[in-house]
Amino acid sequence: MSEKKLGEHIITVDNVSKTFTGGIQAVKNFSTKIRRSEVLVIMGPSGSGKSTLLRCLNGLEEPDSGTIIIDGIPLDDDKRHRLEIRKEVGMVFQQFNLFPHLTALENVNLAQIRVRKKSKKEATEMSMDMLTKVGIAEKAHCYPAQLSGGQQQRVAIARALAMMPKVMLFDEPTSALDPEMINEVLDVMKNLAREGMTMVVVTHEMGFAREVSDWVIFMDDGQIVETGTVEHFFKNPREERTKLFLSQIL
């Protein structure tokens, strides 16, 4: 499938646990390693802790224990480390979360200007490149409310990409979309995967997983139940829970 070269480990998750106030343990002693240019798909039933795990990876949630290292930087209490990781890790949300008072172009420009300290001109150049890449350059001056869900999600991807992240996290990026818009977003993500972006994607889109993922984690109840390639999951899943889940989504 892929001729791309996988590099050294860029994300190391070691024994991470997260319990929410109220006692729900969303992630339990989770460990994994992800290589540069790898595309990892995470699947699992609702409430299994997929979002929580993903959100731990860029510091949106604070794990209670365990360590996370991204591109050599530990995600610890040091504010500089956290900022560095926020800059290097792009996140795409289920609900897009575009800034509604800014145009598509301004959405993509903002962090480049404020965080990367670029001039408006430089930022705009980069933004237009990214908007072109996601196929939506002609909507640069539209406000989010004037865009369809699929278009909004593509702008959100462009916004994350414009920061030149080393890792991209996607949390169910297509599950808030109408069916006819899912593919336009998945196509953008597939291209990104082929270009060698390191991606961690929570999704149940099997077509996407089949085409570009290097491996899949099936998690339930905050833990890894089974890992393997997509082929493995299709042909001979080991665990009963995995079989049950796959029979429900396929």
Ligand X SMILES: Nc1ncnc2c1ncn2[C@@H]1O[C@H](COP(=O)(O)OP(=O)(O)OP(=O)(O)O)[C@@H](O)[C@H]1O
Query: Is position 110 an interface residue for other proteins (rule: CB under 8 A)?
Result: yes
Query: Is position 99 an interface residue for other proteins (rule: CB under 8 A)?
Result: yes
State CA 118 to chain mean position distance.
25
Tell me phi and psi for residue 102, to 5 degrees: -120, 150
Give the integer Cα–Cα distance in Å for 188 and 192. Answer: 6
Reading the block at residue 218, the tokens are: 């099936």
Are 113 and 145 in contact by the 8 Å Cβ rule? The answer is no
Binding residue for other proteins, selected from 9, 33, 81, 87, defined by CB under 8 A: 87
51 or 174: CB nearest Mg ion? 51
Query: Is position 219 an interface residue for other proteins (rule: CB under 8 A)?
Result: no
Give the integer Cα–Cα distance in Å for 14 and 30. Answer: 6
| Residues at the site binding Mg ion, with contacts judged by CB under 5 A | 51
Query: Is position 47 an interface residue for ligand X (rule: CB under 6 A)?
Result: yes
46 binds, among ligand X, other proteins, Mg ion, none (CB under 5 to 8 A by kind): ligand X
Give the integer Cα–Cα distance in Å for 46 and 221. Answer: 9
Q: Considering the complex, what minimum distance in angstroms separates the CB of residue 160 from other proteins?
A: 8
Binding residue for ligand X, selected from 32, 51, 112, 203, defined by CB under 6 A: 51
24 or 83: CB nearest ligand X? 24
115 binds, among Mg ion, ligand X, other proteins, none (CB under 5 to 8 A by kind): other proteins
Query: Is position 155 an interface residue for other proteins (rule: CB under 8 A)?
Result: no
Are 29 and 17 in contact by the 8 Å Cβ rule? The answer is yes
Q: How far is CA 154 from CA 99, 147, 188, 224, in A?
A: 14, 10, 8, 30
Binding residue for ligand X, selected from 32, 37, 48, 124, defined by CB under 6 A: 48
Binding residue for ligand X, selected from 20, 72, 132, 239, defined by CB under 6 A: 20
**Which of 65, 58, 62 has its CA nearest to residue 30?**
65
**Which of 36, 37, 65, 40 has its CA nearest to residue 54?**
40
Give the integer Cα–Cα distance in Å for 113 and 97. Answer: 19
Query: Is position 44 an interface residue for ligand X (rule: CB under 6 A)?
Result: yes
Query: Is position 16 an interface residue for other proteins (rule: CB under 8 A)?
Result: no
Which residues lie near other proteins (CB under 8 A)?
A: 58-60, 83, 86-87, 89-91, 93, 95, 97-101, 110-111, 114-115, 143, 145, 156, 159-160, 163
Q: Which residues bind ligand X (CB under 6 A)?
A: 20, 22, 24, 26, 44, 46-52
